Structure 1
Amino acid sequence: MADGVVRPGTPVYSDRVPAEAEGDTGDPDVVRDLVPARRDGRRDGRNGKRRNRRWLTPSTSRAEKARALRGLGVLGGLSGLLVALLVLPTACAAGVGARDASDWFRAEPDGLTTSGVPQRSRILAADGRTIATFFYQNRVDVPMSKIAPVLRIAVLAIEDSRFYNHGAIDAQGTLRALASNLGSGQVTQGGSGITQQYVKNLLLTQADTAAERAAAKEISAARKIRELRYAVAIEKRYTKDEILRRYLNIAYYGDGAYGIEAASRHYFSKHAAELSLSEAALLAGIIRYPYAYDPTRHPGAARERRNVVLHRMAELGWIDHAAADATARLPIRLNVDDVKSGCVTSAAPFFCDYVQREIQTNPVFGPTPAAREKLLKRGGLTIRTTMDPVAQRAAQRAVDGHVPPRNSAHKAAAEAMVQPGTGEIKAMVVDRALGPDKERGKTWINFAADASHGSSIGMQAGSTFKVFTLAAALDQGMPFGTRLMAPREFTAVGYRNCKGQRVGDASKPLRNSADGEGGKRFSLVTGTHHSVNTFFLALEKEVGLCETVKMAEKLGMRQASGKPLEQYPSFTLGFNPVSPLRLAAAYAAFGARGRYCEPVAIREIRDASGRKLKVPPRKCRQAVDRGVADAVNYVLSGVLTKGTAQGMGLGRDAAGKTGTVDDFSAAWFAGYTPDLAAAVWVGDPRGGYRYPMDGLCMDGRCYGSVFGATIPAPIWQQSMLGALSGTGPGSFHRPPSEYFSKGTGEDKVKLPDVRGLKLREAVAKLREAGLKVQVRQPVESREYPKGTVAEMSPDPGSVEPGDTVELRVSKGPGPGGDGQPPVPPTFPPTFPPPADPGRQAPA
């Protein structure tokens, strides 16, 4: 056996083999070599009869005996029918009708197909890890080379030892089984060969309706004749090896395991190629009565049945009696791997649910919902997705850490992560388990996705929608320094939708939310940093409501219900209900310099044969000019360093926007880097306006009023740091110079008059005001003493923060002065302002 091939006449196991020897995984033709006709019915010398009596009579329950006696009657009747069919062509050779009947029986039936055997499908993460498994029947089809030869001969020994020596119908075996069963008083040998059993299983698995399933299982002569006709056709179509392989892959092995590979993984957590003699005999014995011999339910009966198989193998001379005896003394050792179907037990349940719904709802996977469901649960698909396990775990930890699944306030949180430039969904989490909503800490609703992929009707997005008004303004060429008055109250009148209709005229004024301010002028930059509602209402009117809506639509935004965005003046304040996934994809477009990609979760699907299936195409477009996107990135970067989310930076180029919905009914944060974008929602599934987050206390921690920066932004920061750990930082691009035509847009600061001060004092005072200092060549001055500042540029007044002030030191009077040579400055030529570790200048 050095080459792994068992030669004819050579036992598979000898008494030199250890009791727990592993199965030989050699030549797939070994089975045919092991069953020459001369070995059929062989006994072990004078002890053969005693061994038969000892091992072929397991103890049975009263119910099992009754079932066996009923089976004897059926088998007897069908055996008589079988004999009649076999002799029909000869006995009636002279009759034309008989000859026609014989031809009909031997002709291949119409519609005979061997396809449609259910196999389980797997959803895989981007790195190949299994996320979830779907099946009607837990089955993994494998080639003969991946099935241990010891398993093959174990099944042949107990089910059809003459398989390689007879055709589709084994009259000798059937009659012998009938005689044996009548003699023992119970069904110990079957009357159907492996080909017939394969046909019976095939017809049953192909049944789609209750009527078809009943017809496949009914005990009748008509069913038996149909199976026999199919068996004859199968024997003509396939080799014996192929029929055996198909049978091993279709048979039911109990406890939800269909096919030998799934059974091996289920009971022993190993592949079918790795089965030992004991394990192979156990599985082979289960086939006859899967429930009665299920080792997880009836270990005693399963062990006795295993031993029946072992000694049948020895009786046939296919293993040594010593090996059979030694193995029969071993206990049954299981290592059960209980594979569940669906997303409930998945480590990424809501991402899994999203993929499942994508397959069930997208016509690319089938013309009807039933066809798509069948493909997923019967097709043996390998579905490779975009999910990054590192990002998924980071997001789940962050969400669960800040909003625990069973928190005392009944709040919920959801987050979606999208890769800029590809639209690939890298993570999708909800702070709850997937399950019935009536159970605390569970929900069937995927709050991170749209209704089509998660049943959520969406949530109002609040001030995260202001980015679309900002982008529309920048798209119209407004520079950063564009300033508008932001009153404390704003009455929205004069807005028109994209149909030209005047909408939203209201007598009730709109006010700034608690995370904004008003009553003064703001620039595009400072109005965004402080998220001033009245500033954005004024800006929206300036650029046009329709233009703002169109910008959002270009970036993929729509209501979570699938309906178009509603158009009213408060559009910029985020009253439209949307999903975190849609918002993350829109923000990702800014990180990709204006390239928007529809969210995508599936990279590739292959069927059971390895053939690639069509998947939804990736849809990307340049939605926004690159310069506009770069300008948006410049403005939103400041939100993390000096705006409403100050201190939420990542230590790399990043940008984002907070969102607080009216009356603290919900809170959001959406942010991104050039490499990853994410949107976080926190709210109450019972209704945000009914259960607002004003004065929120949760699990012993009180937050007061919850803004976008209170809980969502820390979730975003933690999840992004985890998802991006170990990756190199990308960089934003500097916006086009025209956006700086009116300055940086930062708030003006007072430039103090430092003339007459010592240079060191002047530098300190200017740096304290947040200004840069550059010292030029000294100048002669009669007005200012030598060593003091004689000139400054610009002149005292208002400048933008970070501007550079040029200073010239007096070297005293010129000719006719004190006659002393000029003293060169003792300081470096440039004095930058104090370092701001949180500020990130665009590259």
Structure 2
Amino acid sequence: MAGKVRAARVAGRLGGLSVLSGVLVALILLPTACTAGLGARDTADWFQTEPSDLKTPPLPQRSKILAADGSTLATFFYENRVEVRLDQVAPVLQRAVLAIEDSRFYEHGALDTQGTLRALISNMNSGQVTQGGSGITQQYVKNLLLEQAETEQARRAAAAVTPERKVRELRYAVALEKRFTKQEILQRYLNIAYFGDGAYGIEAAARHYFSKPAGRLVLGEAAVLAGVISQPHAYNPRLNPEDSRRRRDVVLGRLAELGWVDRGTAEAAAKAPLTLKVTNTPNGCVVSKAPFFCDYVRREILENPVFGRTAEERRRLLVRGGLTIRTTLDPKTQRAAQRAVDRHVPPTNSARKAAAEALVEPGTGEIKGMVVDRKLGDDRQRGKTWINFAADASHGTSIGMQAGSTFKVFTLAAALEEGMPFGTRLRAERYFTPTGYRDCKGRRVGDTKPLRNSADGEGGRSFTLVTGTQHSVNTFFLALQREVGLCETVKMAERLGLRQASGKPLQQYASFTLGFNTVSPLRVAAAYAAFGARGRYCQPVAITAITDASGRRLKVPSARCRQVMDEDVADAVNHVLRGVLTKGTAKGMGIGRQAAGKTGTVDNFSAAWFAGYTPDLAAAVWVGDPRGGYAHPMRGVCIGGQCYGAVYGASIPAPIWRDSMRGALSGQPAGAFVAPHRRFFSQGSGEDKIKVPDVRGQRLDRAVARLRAAGFKVEVRDRRVNSDEYPAGTVADIDPDEGFELEPGETVTVTVSKGKKPEDPPDVLDPLLPSPSPGTDD
């Protein structure tokens, strides 16, 4: 008798797949086997053959985007899952699941014969498989087939209560018991099971319901999760706490019944209240602390072929691949930029204007910040938009915005590259007829319609490269572009990464230098960053590294940094653009360290820009109207508590840039630009000449301060002179004389008075000598 019992036990362990086991399976499934025309032994043989279509691919896991400091920006998932090893699951939690789902898991094979025989009677009475007596291996198979179902029809078939499905599950279970150990199967089951509330797998469930990892759950918490598995919605502890508590107590009772937990301990746990600490895991960028940068990264993965040959492959990688995506975003820079943009252009401003800013590191192309003054969301709601105004269409659906005078810098750079010195002088007419240009194909392009200077420029006189840039004179740059060549200006912009936001090449017309092309702030920021890096251009990049769920590193897009102009040309551009912040259209927008930049006011005040940089950080700011700048120009508007007759590049964009840069760079050592090569000074500094002020009679310290404030160097002669007119210690003379015109930086020499020349002492007569007689010649 004992031998028969042992034989029955061996037969029940289908991991060995004896003939007796196969016959038992055949008997259980006899209705299906007969229908298929198979005998019991043929059915057993069929079960011993591993299915060719049995696959166990990696489970979908959530991906996360990290900032440069490792903080989480967003998560993406098809199923909220974090896979763990079995040794990362608390033993009490493993026992709780086994107790309620399959207490004999380690004793039987693929089939629990006791449970299966129990279901056999019902199956034979009904003529079909209505009960399965499923153990953990079979439940794992069912979940696996559901996971692999790509269509709704496939999902229905995987969940249908039919003999065919049950046969398939049992056959797969037999094969899996041969392929994996019991521990491996349990681990896989715990990672694939659904626990309700969008939590897939034991780790995500523990973090969701109790805000702790699965390895730290205690008895009562373990019993709650184990009880959820059979009916994830009905026993959801957040939605149905009373039902969940009763189910928890059933699990605790079963643990005590099996002797796996002391009965007193189980009863004490059953008396405790159901206490949750729910943590929701957001899916996507909407609630990210850097939503538009997050969306940029998302689109980079979805659009770039480096992450998959097809759009579907790339989508699956993002939402199923368990990626850890490390990015370039600097939280400090991001916060400073967001505060600046929201302060000057509030998200729900009454004028309905918008602002965007992109910040790029010179020399690396790394995007350090990207902000829009709106929340990411349905633009039918005030203060929200799906459009990333800071990026190109491929990364934010923006069609771009006209860049205005920020494009003049490309004409300036082309002129300096051709060898023009700072003192190169051209006349800027009040009106300029843009004729005489050829594009890069040699075709004549131009217009007979005269163009004029905008309100922030001036004309009717000559300017140098320096002063024409400082005053942003349209007609000067149209004349300079004709001297340099339209194609040369276009090629300079292209070398610096400029293209239309649509992805198309830049359009080539006479007004190119005035910035009619529609571009993104990110492209402009990256171009200006190249000047800060002394001519080294890097494509903007947002991702530094990606690892998948197995820890394998994936290829990421490169910045492809390259030298696109000589360093001394970039140094010369930096020198000229520094003056924009000290003497030009953005005077007063300094940030307490060396910086350079350019304002941009688009025709008819349809938009305004500022692009500026230091050797350490570059940024470009756009302010305009999403409804269309020409239909809704920025004239007579009130934004952020301040009203403007007209908005220039220096009105709102430059203050946003200033505040962003100060916040981003605070506490960092200040980088310095390299002085330009002396050849660029061959015709002087290019600055407007200044008259020497009359400082004679002023105290030396006051006189020196006044001359330096005027832009001159001051030299004080070592030798003082007597002066009847000017008191001692004051300036007695200047060289050159007052009213003489000098270029800034030239030297004025001052001479200090030592006061009046002392008088000769009167003659003193010797009293012992006779006085001279009057009228004598002696």
TM-score by length of 1: 0.82
Alpha-carbon offset, residue 726 of structure 1: 2.0
1:289-337 CA-to-partner distances (Å, cap 9, x unmatched) read: 0011111111111111111111001100000111111111111111111
Residue in structure 1 matched with residue 539 of structure 2 by the alignment = 598
Kindly indicate whether residue 184 of structure 2 is the aligned counterpart of residue 242 of structure 1. Answer: yes
Is the contact between residue 721 and residue 751 of structure 2 (CA under 8 Å) also seen in structure 1? no
1:46-72 CA-to-partner distances (Å, cap 9, x unmatched) read: xxxxxxxxxxxxxxxxxxxxxxxxxxx
Q: Percent identity?
A: 70
Kindly indicate whether residue 299 of structure 2 is the aligned counterpart of residue 385 of structure 1. Answer: no
Which of 797, 813, 819 is residue 740 of structure 2 equivalent to?
A: 797
Matches within 5 A, 1:14-29: none
Which of 229, 252, 260 is residue 171 of structure 2 equivalent to?
A: 229
Kindly indicate whether residue 291 of structure 2 is the aligned counterpart of residue 349 of structure 1. Answer: yes
Is the contact between residue 386 and residue 600 of structure 1 (CA under 8 Å) also seen in structure 2? yes
1:408-453 CA-to-partner distances (Å, cap 9, x unmatched) read: 1111111111111111111111111111111111111111100000
Kindly indicate whether residue 135 of structure 2 is the aligned counterpart of residue 193 of structure 1. Answer: yes
SS in structure 2 opposite 1:437?
coil
Residue in structure 2 matched with residue 44 of structure 1 by the alignment = none
Residue in structure 2 matched with residue 730 of structure 1 by the alignment = 671
Distance 1:160 1:662, change over 3 A: same
What amino acid maps onto 1:394 in structure 2? Answer: A
Is the contact between residue 671 and residue 678 of structure 1 (CA under 8 Å) also seen in structure 2? yes
Distance 1:541 1:753, change over 3 A: same
Kindly indicate whether residue 117 of structure 2 is the aligned counterpart of residue 175 of structure 1. Answer: yes
Is the contact between residue 363 and residue 538 of structure 2 (CA under 8 Å) also seen in structure 1? yes
Matches within 5 A, 1:56-455: 84-85=26-27, 98-176=40-118, 191-455=133-397
Distance 1:632 1:699, change over 3 A: closer
Kindly indicate whether residue 563 of structure 2 is the aligned counterpart of residue 622 of structure 1. Answer: yes
1:233-260 CA-to-partner distances (Å, cap 9, x unmatched) read: 1111111011000100000000100000
Q: Distance in 2 between matches of 1:86 and 1:405?
A: 67
What amino acid maps onto 1:163 in structure 2? Answer: F
Distance 1:221 1:653, change over 3 A: same
Kindly indicate whether residue 621 of structure 2 is the aligned counterpart of residue 680 of structure 1. Answer: yes
What amino acid maps onto 1:659 in structure 2? Answer: G
Residue in structure 1 matched with residue 512 of structure 2 by the alignment = 571
Is the contact between residue 784 and residue 810 of structure 1 (CA under 8 Å) also seen in structure 2? no
What amino acid maps onto 1:696 in structure 2? Answer: V
Distance 1:744 1:138, change over 3 A: same
Is the contact between residue 158 and residue 309 of structure 1 (CA under 8 Å) also seen in structure 2? yes
Matches within 5 A, 1:683-762: 683-698=624-639, 700-751=641-692
Is the contact between residue 201 and residue 250 of structure 1 (CA under 8 Å) also seen in structure 2? yes
Alpha-carbon offset, residue 721 of structure 1: 1.2
Alpha-carbon offset, residue 773 of structure 1: 2.4
Alpha-carbon offset, residue 180 of structure 1: 12
What amino acid maps onto 1:530 in structure 2? Answer: H
What amino acid maps onto 2:524 in structure 1? Answer: L
1:685-709 CA-to-partner distances (Å, cap 9, x unmatched) read: 0011111111111355312211111
Which of 459, 481, 488 is residue 423 of structure 2 equivalent to?
A: 481
Residue in structure 2 matched with residue 775 of structure 1 by the alignment = 716
Q: Distance in 1 between matches of 2:123 and 2:368?
A: 61
Is the contact between residue 116 and residue 206 of structure 1 (CA under 8 Å) also seen in structure 2? no
Is the contact between residue 762 and residue 789 of structure 1 (CA under 8 Å) also seen in structure 2? no
Q: Distance in 2 between matches of 1:124 and 1:785?
A: 71
- When the two chains are superposed, the root-mean-square deviation of aligned CA atoms in Å is 3.2
SS in structure 2 opposite 1:563?
coil
What amino acid maps onto 1:271 in structure 2? Answer: P
Q: Distance in 1 between matches of 2:213 and 2:672?
A: 48
Q: Distance in 1 between matches of 2:706 and 2:254?
A: 100
What amino acid maps onto 1:597 in structure 2? Answer: C
Is the contact between residue 327 and residue 544 of structure 2 (CA under 8 Å) also seen in structure 1? yes
Distance 1:764 1:610, change over 3 A: closer
Alpha-carbon offset, residue 174 of structure 1: 2.8
Residue in structure 2 matched with residue 832 of structure 1 by the alignment = none
Alpha-carbon offset, residue 775 of structure 1: 2.9
Q: Structure 2 unaligned runs (5+)? A: 1-8, 10-21, 125-130, 762-778
Q: Distance in 2 between matches of 1:245 and 1:210?
A: 27
Residue in structure 2 matched with residue 48 of structure 1 by the alignment = none
Alpha-carbon offset, residue 813 of structure 1: 14
What amino acid maps onto 1:172 in structure 2? Answer: Q
Residue in structure 1 matched with residue 128 of structure 2 by the alignment = none
Distance 1:87 1:339, change over 3 A: closer
Residue in structure 2 matched with residue 543 of structure 1 by the alignment = 484
SS in structure 2 opposite 1:324?
helix
Alpha-carbon offset, residue 796 of structure 1: 6.3
Is the contact between residue 793 and residue 807 of structure 1 (CA under 8 Å) also seen in structure 2? no
Distance 1:179 1:296, change over 3 A: farther
Alpha-carbon offset, residue 213 of structure 1: 1.6
SS in structure 2 opposite 1:164?
coil
Distance 1:757 1:332, change over 3 A: closer
What amino acid maps onto 1:803 in structure 2? Answer: E
Residue in structure 1 matched with residue 576 of structure 2 by the alignment = 635
Distance 1:159 1:642, change over 3 A: same
What amino acid maps onto 1:343 in structure 2? Answer: C
What amino acid maps onto 1:657 in structure 2? Answer: K
Is the contact between residue 409 and residue 699 of structure 1 (CA under 8 Å) also seen in structure 2? no
1:118-167 CA-to-partner distances (Å, cap 9, x unmatched) read: 11111111111111111111110011121111110000000000000000
Alpha-carbon offset, residue 84 of structure 1: 3.7
SS in structure 1 opposite 2:553?
coil
Kindly indicate whether residue 601 of structure 2 is the aligned counterpart of residue 657 of structure 1. Answer: no
Residue in structure 1 matched with residue 127 of structure 2 by the alignment = none
Alpha-carbon offset, residue 100 of structure 1: 4.0
Is the contact between residue 791 and residue 809 of structure 1 (CA under 8 Å) also seen in structure 2? no
Is the contact between residue 461 and residue 661 of structure 1 (CA under 8 Å) also seen in structure 2? yes
Is the contact between residue 89 and residue 214 of structure 2 (CA under 8 Å) also seen in structure 1? yes
TM-score by length of 2: 0.89
Which of 440, 443, 466 is residue 525 of structure 1 equivalent to?
A: 466
Is the contact between residue 346 and residue 639 of structure 2 (CA under 8 Å) also seen in structure 1? no
Residue in structure 2 matched with residue 52 of structure 1 by the alignment = none
1:799-836 CA-to-partner distances (Å, cap 9, x unmatched) read: 1123212346799999xx9999xxxxxxxxxxxxxxxx
Is the contact between residue 723 and residue 754 of structure 2 (CA under 8 Å) also seen in structure 1? no
SS in structure 2 opposite 1:283?
helix
Is the contact between residue 599 and residue 654 of structure 2 (CA under 8 Å) also seen in structure 1? yes
Alpha-carbon offset, residue 768 of structure 1: 6.8
SS in structure 2 opposite 1:448?
coil
Select between 772-781 and 494-503 the one with higher mean Cα deviation.
772-781
Distance 1:203 1:779, change over 3 A: same
Q: Distance in 2 between matches of 1:151 and 1:354?
A: 40
Distance 1:428 1:247, change over 3 A: same
Distance 1:761 1:677, change over 3 A: closer
Q: Distance in 1 between matches of 2:737 and 2:91?
A: 91
Is the contact between residue 66 and residue 327 of structure 2 (CA under 8 Å) also seen in structure 1? yes
Q: Distance in 1 between matches of 2:706 and 2:66?
A: 61
